[in-house]
Amino acid sequence: MKKKVVAKKSAQRKFPYQIEYYSNPEYITIHARSRFPELEGYVYGLRFAVTDAKEEGKKVHPFYLVLNRVRGITEVSPHDYELTITKAPMFSWDEMLPQILKALQDTIAGKRKLVEVGEPKQAAVDSFDEALGINQV
């Protein structure tokens, strides 16, 4: 009788991400190999976006509901494989990132383990606005 060969699944699937910092300390971008959930429209003031969506009867992904409770976040801009977050100047990333990463783990990564790939990146341009081409003369 032949034995059936079964490929072993990795012990734990991973959710790779990398943080990018900018010369403007109020911005970070989290890059991932998985898509971030959609949040309709441009989000200036996450609280307004969540409130508006709820009032209009639209569903809001749990990730944004949790981020909505993180003190200091002023803006969230989701894209397919990256999420840019802006904070208020009186808050630090040291106090906010653990909460943001926990939200990512609990609502998006699920059973996959968050794994930071490499050291945090520094932006190749002088500012986030420059990266977006804002205020260019």
pLDDT tens digit sequence for 72-130: 998 888 888 999 999 999 999 999 999 999 999 999 999 999 999 977 777 665 555 56
Residue count of the chain: 137
Does 55 map to a domain?
yes
Structure confidence at residue 91 (pLDDT): 97
Kindly report the CATH number assigned to the domain that includes residue 72.
3.30.1370.70
More confidently predicted of 61 and 1: 61
β-bridge mates for residue 30, sequence order? 19, 83
Does 76 map to a domain?
yes
Instruction: Report the predicted TM-score, pTM, of the whole model to 2 decimal places.
Output: 0.75
Does 22 map to a domain?
yes
Identify whether the C-beta of residue 34 lies closer than 8 Å to the C-beta of residue 64: no
